[in-house]
Amino acid sequence: MTSKKPKNSSFKYTKTNELPKLKSLQTNWDLVTHYYKSEKDPQIEKDILAIEAAYKAFAKKFAGKDFTSTASKLLVALKAQDALIEIPASKPILYFWYRQTLDSHDKVAEQQINLISDRLTKIGNLAIFFGLAIAKIPTKLQKEYLKNPTLAPYHYLLSQSFATAKHNLTEAEEKIMALKSNPARSLWIAGTDKIINKREIEYKKKKMPLVEAIEKVSSVEPSERPKLWGIVRDELKSLSEIAENELNAIVIDKKINDELRGFKLPYEAKVQSYENDLASVEALVQSISTKGFALSRKFYELKAKAHGVTSLPYASKYDALGTEINIPFADATDVCRDVFYGVKNEYGQFFDDMLETGRIDVYPKKGRSGGAFMSSDTNIPIFVFLNQVDTFKSLETLAHEMGHALHSYRSKGHQPARYQDYSTTTAETASTLFENLVFDAVYKQSDDATKFTLMHDRLTRDISTIQRQIAFFNFETEMHNLIRTQGAASKEELAALFTKQLRAHLGKGIDVVDDDGYSFVYISHFRSMFYVYTYAYGLLMSNLMAEQYRADKSYVEQIDTFLCSGSKDTVENIFKSIGINARKIETFEASLSSIERNVNEFAKLSKKIGK
């Protein structure tokens, strides 16, 4: 194999818009301005007491009372719930969570998180009665309320409550379900995590934590990756009996829950909770499992050829090609600001405000959490967390998280508190849309060699987000069905199921051996159960939106309509409002066509530069 670790290259981006000068570029969160001065700030306790008082007053006024028998009574109760939602109840615990995110050794933050979480959980339980009471409204009254003009602002909220009503249990049963969740599910998952986190492997005569080794596979020298992965894989295989017992336990627990609530399919509850249409998700899975998998197999064959081999080891599936772009954070902000301002002036102004007011924390440091995220809640400042390392991937991550942030900003500005949140599916659409637009901006200004690297990296990202996640979804479905049918699944059966799905989307270009299937042991997605489809769904929708915008810049109005929609309707209806029919398999296949064009572009560039 001729794979080598690629070198970095500098890249100079030329702005395409006149941008206002930044007042300042803050790279650390300003918790004092936006939250509290310190753990001793008396405002923390004042805020918690205010939250507790509000929930107690709400429960005193409505618990055990008649507030659903007439439209007027229900309207009063719903307005009272609105007032409750408006309270920034997460502010105290978020302050300490942010502190712990910045410093994992912050013991004060850890203690306060536990104490405040306990208080807020208890107070939150006082409001459980409300949703259950609404769900129990008789069918005849439900129909009347959904037509009542005075309740019009709440029609979607009520329709969702009525739709889920048949899956609700009694208040006493719901409390039992909540109580059993810890021993029947959470403790199993935590136990496996603890065991994995404590394990070490030996690599180059040195001990290394297993979790670190898993992350290191993609960063060591390419020639070392198969060797390190082999050591990791053997350790995972040795842990597979533990994971076998854990997965059997939590899958059987879910089966019991589904049967009690009346869900027939393993993924049905998750789809409903994400406000998706079941037929839409099944169309998504079908299109990716056929046309999508064929495209990813073709890409990996082309990638192997570019490396000068017929197939790459499984550990080398993410091996880079070409020269990586080096983009410092100041340059990354220039690119993103140019794109955000170019789409809509207000988007750029929001971006600047995030940069200037200490709401983006940028650089990695010792004790700090890994990864990246956006954090937002009702009447809480939007925060973004990064781990910038001056690569093109870091630029994409900035665009991705700021896409999430913009989505929250527009939703907050155009929806009442009850609809300001949004489905995980539409969240992934907003973030990947701006990731795509930033990619376009850099790609246009690159030479052929850089374009080759960028297109390779984009396809690698897209396939990881679409085909790989649906391979995970298919594995989960088969695992749940197998355990439901025969009562349990062995570690060998689970590994074989996962190997099957790896081969299905990777194809001949990646050499997947049977034991690669034991990576099911550490993949946390399978414990969260079926949420992975949202990544694929969101990216395919954003591909369509990006294509429309490239063809016609006035499509920005539809983009803004989408960003401002929050959760005022189902996912499918929100897309329908901007001209996308997410209930048809043809829609997902049309989006996959954009990936097909990128695969063909990658093949042309490969020939052009002699790969």
- Rg of the chain on CA atoms, in Å: 25
3-state secondary structure of 207: strand
Task: Please name every residue paired with 206 in a beta bridge, in sequence order, or none if there are none.
Answer: 203
Q: Say what the pLDDT of residue 2 is.
A: 43
Q: Which two tokens stand for residue 264?
A: 């027939």
With CA atoms as reference, report the closest residue to 190 among 467, 524, 440, 546: 524
Q: Residue 166 gets which letter from DSSP?
A: G
Dihedral sign, Cα of residue 365, residue 369, residue 374, residue 379: negative
Domain boundaries, the chain: 34-168
Q: Say what the pLDDT of residue 7 is.
A: 52
pLDDT digits (tens, 9 = 90+) for 19-77: 999 999 999 999 999 999 999 999 999 999 999 999 999 999 999 999 999 999 999 99
3-state secondary structure of 113: helix
pLDDT digits (tens, 9 = 90+) for 144-160: 999 999 999 999 999 99
Q: Which two tokens stand for residue 328?
A: 């410092």
With CA atoms as reference, report the closest residue to 298 among 608, 611, 598: 598
- The DSSP-derived string for 42-93 is HHHHHHHHHHHHHHHHHHHHHTTS--SSSHHHHHHHHHHHHHHHHS-TTHHH
Q: Say what the pLDDT of residue 8 is.
A: 60
Q: What is the distance, to the nearest Å, from the Cα of residue 286 to the centroid of all Cα atoms in its chain?
A: 21
CATH topology for 34-168 is Butyryl-CoA Dehydrogenase, subunit A; domain 3 (1.20.140)
3-state secondary structure of 562: helix
Distance CA 596, CA 600 (A): 6
Q: Say what the pLDDT of residue 367 is.
A: 84
Distance CA 77, CA 101 (A): 38
pLDDT mean values, one per 10 residues, the chain (611 residues): 52 91 95 98 98 97 97 98 96 96 92 92 90 92 97 96 87 84 88 90 92 88 94 96 96 96 96 93 97 98 95 94 88 97 98 98 89 94 95 94 98 96 93 96 94 94 96 98 97 98 98 97 92 94 96 97 96 95 95 96 91 71
Q: Say what the pLDDT of residue 9 is.
A: 59
Q: Say what the pLDDT of residue 384 is.
A: 98
Q: Say what the pLDDT of residue 175 is.
A: 81
3-state secondary structure of 19: coil
